[in-house]
Amino acid sequence: MADEPVGGVELESGNGREPALNKYFKATIKMKVSDLHLKAESPPRIRMKGDLRVLTGGPLTDRQIREGIFELLTPKQRALYDEKGAVDFAYDVGPQGDADRFRVNAFQQRGRMSVAARRVSRDIKNFEELYLPASMAKIAENNQGLVLLAGITGSGKSTTIAAMVDYINQRWPVHIVTVEDPIEYLFTDKKACINQREIGIDVLDFHDALKYLMREDPDVVLIGEMRDHETFSAALHAAETGHLVFGTIHASTAAQTISRLLDLFPEGSRRLVRQTLEFNLQAIICQKLIPSVKEEVPLVPTVEIMISNPAIRKLIREERDNEIIDVIRASYDDGMVDFTEHLRQLVQNGFIDHPTAYEAAPNPNELQMALKGIRAASAGILG
């Protein structure tokens, strides 16, 4: 039954050899699940195959959670929690160099502390292990320009972008600088030299990190999230000056990604931003995670991949973003793919069932035709 308690955790005092809440983090690691939730006067829960499951051991008090979390925070992070009612931080469980990492949000609710912790595996999987299209490697092989990963929170953007950075790390002697809030994957230098800067620990904020970025002689840059026009302007400047820049943004499709970026800027500046995108945008990858029918693969990504070519650049220049999908559909042989086609492939390859595919499809009728071997017609886009 989904609501039956699982595991078994005894809370110990933090006065011993390790922090009191480590037992719960370790249980999450041991059971290889994705998330840990702690709420006052409620039993701890983990997310197992998409559902929340109760851990055995009984409820925790607000004091136990608060003291356990404060034990993990720096004085600055604790002050931020007291001021804002929430704090984000990264927490490593295990010896340095071989630790499992959690991305933790501690937040106030009804006067008590709750905690949501996402487990981030130390092992960085490659494109094949993540069941991503082979064209991801082609995108990572660019020497310069802007590559954007789009999707909602929890859509796997960080995992995919880590695979792209590590693909470069394994192949070329370059300098990679990441600016993250918080650091989500710990990279080990291979052929590349990688420096990772965490907001609030290594640098005050994104603004300061990006101000000094070009003085750090990077070849490849990862900006954790495009949050405002200053962040995106810095990313565009880095791309314009010959660097390969990766960034993430909350958007659902390639066309919507461009709209979201333009919305960050005053209307009078958007024409110039379009021109910069025309010449420097290399690719947009939009991603969702959906349940798989394979027992060993709980979730699988479905993607829309847009790779800049002359037709895409023309549409960006002429403000015809809504026609980008037509170019994608006409360019499957060049490594592009839309959600409908990728869902069809996932069904065909036995990763997902038909109901899941229809639920995730932008247009279920188009997917139904695609599954029958009928491709949607693409409109002319070069006129």
C-alpha distance from residue 249 to each of 130, 228, 287 (Å): 20, 10, 11
The helix/strand/coil state of 281 is: strand
Residue at 378 is within a domain: no
Residue at 2 is within a domain: no
The lowest-confidence range among 135-149, 225-239, 299-313 is 225-239
**Contact between residue 255 and residue 322 where contact means Cβ atoms under 8 Å apart:** yes
More confident residue, 118 or 283: 283
Both 106 and 222 in a single domain?
Answer: no
Both 153 and 251 in a single domain?
Answer: yes
Domain count, the chain: 2
More confident residue, 2 or 105: 105
Both 266 and 327 in a single domain?
Answer: yes
More confident residue, 154 or 251: 251
Reported as a pLDDT band with limits 50, 70 and 90, residue 98 is: low
Residue at 304 is within a domain: yes
Residue at 4 is within a domain: no
**Contact between residue 251 and residue 150 where contact means Cβ atoms under 8 Å apart:** yes
**pLDDT above 50 (res 25):** yes
* pLDDT tens digit sequence for 281-331: 999 999 999 999 998 898 999 999 999 999 999 999 999 999 999 999 999
Residue at 112 is within a domain: yes
* pLDDT tens digit sequence for 68-85: 999 999 999 999 999 999
Q: For residue 306, give the CATH number of its domain.
A: 3.40.50.300
Both 279 and 229 in a single domain?
Answer: yes
The lowest-confidence range among 2-11, 135-144, 187-196 is 2-11
Domain boundary among 85, 120, 155: 120
**pLDDT above 90 (res 207):** no
User: 323 is written with which tokens?
Assistant: 């026609």
Q: How far apart are CA 71 and CA 14, in angstroms?
A: 8
Q: For residue 67, give the CATH number of its domain.
A: 3.30.450.90
DSSP-assigned states of every residue in 209-256:
HHHTGGGG--SEEEES---SHHHHHHHHHHHHTT-EEEEEE--SSHHH
Environment class of 103 (CB within 10 Å of its CB; exposed 0-12, middle 13-18, buried 19+):
buried
**Contact between residue 150 and residue 285 where contact means Cβ atoms under 8 Å apart:** yes
Helix (H) or strand (E) holding 325: helix 324-329
Residue at 376 is within a domain: no
Both 231 and 326 in a single domain?
Answer: yes
What b/e string do you get for 329-357 counting C-beta neighbours within 10 Å, with b at 16 or more?
A: bbbeeebbbbbbbbbbebbeeebbeeebb
C-alpha distance from residue 300 to each of 21, 36, 49, 348, 362 (Å): 31, 21, 12, 14, 17
Q: Look up the domain containing 88 and give its range.
A: 22-120
Domain boundary among 86, 120, 154: 120
**Contact between residue 10 and residue 23 where contact means Cβ atoms under 8 Å apart:** yes
User: 306 is written with which tokens?
Assistant: 């847009």
* pLDDT tens digit sequence for 54-68: 998 889 999 999 999
Residue at 209 is within a domain: yes
Give pTM, 2 decimals. Answer: 0.82
Residue at 280 is within a domain: yes
